[in-house]
Amino acid sequence: MQGMFLEETIRSVLLQGYPDVEYFIIDGGSTDGSVEIIKKYAPWLAYWVSEKDRGQSDAINKGLKRACGDIIAYINSDDWYAPGAFQTVAQRATTCPDETWWAGWVDNHPAGKPPERKLSSFTSMVEFLGRSEVLQQPGVFWKRELQEKVGLFNDRLHFLFDHEYWVRSLATGYRPVNLDAPIANFRIHGESKSCLKQRLFMRETREVARKFSNLIEPRQQREVENRIRDYEAHYFVKIIYGLLENGGRLAAIGYLIRSLSLLNRIRPVRIYFGAWARALLTGKPPGWYRRI
């Protein structure tokens, strides 16, 4: 149910003030009022459609197949671009014509918390496959040249299709360039996919790591798995406290019970177990939760 955010997303694109923007909106047959909002802005769109698809990655691919521009990006219906983002990317592309792939700052906006600026990074494939380093998707732009070599998104994936695409691009020889500028905003809320279906998210994380394990040394594959475990543990803690913070003590208890199979893998955060117990009893997360 992203309709409540869609108009802000659309306006963040149209109000960039950048000429020759080719803007497609691919909607998956929404019934939450999204179509009415899209129709309102239809005169400024290159194309739009609302129809059933096979998931988010399939919908994005529909837009990518239509795109004719030299620089390409996509943004989800609950995120939005920073003012001047397109100009920043275009100016970099003009002054550095050998670059093909950029990642700028993204401000995360958790519900009820102040925004937090996130920076993209890539230093090694071990760090990247292990999710110690990530590219912040709303702030990523790339040239058509890269897409012609790498192809479209993997529409079998529903969570990590962007991460898999970045790894494929790295394996093809491309490297992202960090832009020292705010590019986009990412909205964190209870209806986002990564919050609702954490187990499937982690399953795809491991699937991508296995798929590209040939890019690293055999001894490094264990290190990647350990990094993924740390990432999963951190995620696990945040979801429990997030549920508590929103008044969902029973939901938090239910999530903990359903996730008992994870506990033997969460060695890095066993010091939190006592805090979990107190939080579940009181219904309130500890004060330091906001800092993790």
Higher pLDDT, 236 or 15: 15
Q: What is the pLDDT of residue 232?
A: 77
Lowest mean pLDDT among 7-21, 36-50, 247-261: 247-261
At 253, is the pLDDT very low, low, confident or very high (cuts 50, 70, 90)?
confident
- Tokens, residue 108: 């995360």
Q: How confident is the model at residue 280 (pLDDT cuts 50, 70, 90)?
A: low
Instruction: Output the pLDDT for position 267.
Output: 53
pLDDT confidence of residue 188: 79
pTM of the model: 0.84
Q: Where are the domains of the chain?
A: 3-193, 217-291
The whole-chain average pLDDT of the chain stands at 86
Q: Widest CA span of the chain, in angstroms?
A: 58
pLDDT-based confidence at residue 120 (cuts at 50, 70, 90): very high
Beta bridge partners of 184: 81, 106
Q: pLDDT at position 56, please?
A: 93
The contacts of residue 180 (CB under 8 Å, 6+ apart) are 105
CA-closest candidate to residue 102, choices 77, 87, 120, 118:
120
Task: Give the three-state DSSP class for 80.
Answer: strand
- Looking at per-residue confidence, does 164 or 269 come out higher? 164
Q: Which residue has the higher pLDDT, 99 or 262?
A: 99
Checking if the pLDDT of 264 tops 70, the result is no
Long-range contacts, 195-203 (Cβ 8 Å, 24+): 195/239, 195/242, 197/159, 198/235, 198/236, 198/239, 199/259, 200/158, 200/159, 201/159, 201/160, 201/235, 202/228, 202/232, 202/235
Please give the single-letter amino acid code of residue 213: S
Architecture of domain 3-193: Alpha-Beta Complex (3.90)
24 versus 240: which is more confidently predicted?
24
Residue 160 pLDDT exceeds 90: yes
CB 243 within 8 A of CB 258: no
Q: What is the 3-state secondary structure (H, E, C) of 206-265?
A: HHHHHHCHHHCCHHHHHHHHHHHHHHHHHHHHHHHHHHHHCCCHHHHHHHHHHCHHHHHH
Over 80: is that where the pLDDT of 241 sits? no
Rounded Cα gap, residues 158 and 285, in angstroms:
30
pLDDT at residue 215 greater than cutoff 60: yes
Contact 137, 85 (CB under 8 A): no
Q: Name beta bridge partners: 281.
A: none
> Is the pLDDT reported for residue 92 higher than 50?
yes
pLDDT band at residue 1 under the 50/70/90 scheme: very low
**54-72 average pLDDT score:** 95
User: Which range, of 124-133, 178-187, 213-222, 281-290, averages the lowest pLDDT?
Assistant: 281-290
Chain length of the chain: 292
pLDDT > 50? residue 291: no
pLDDT band with cut points at 50, 70 and 90 for residue 4: confident
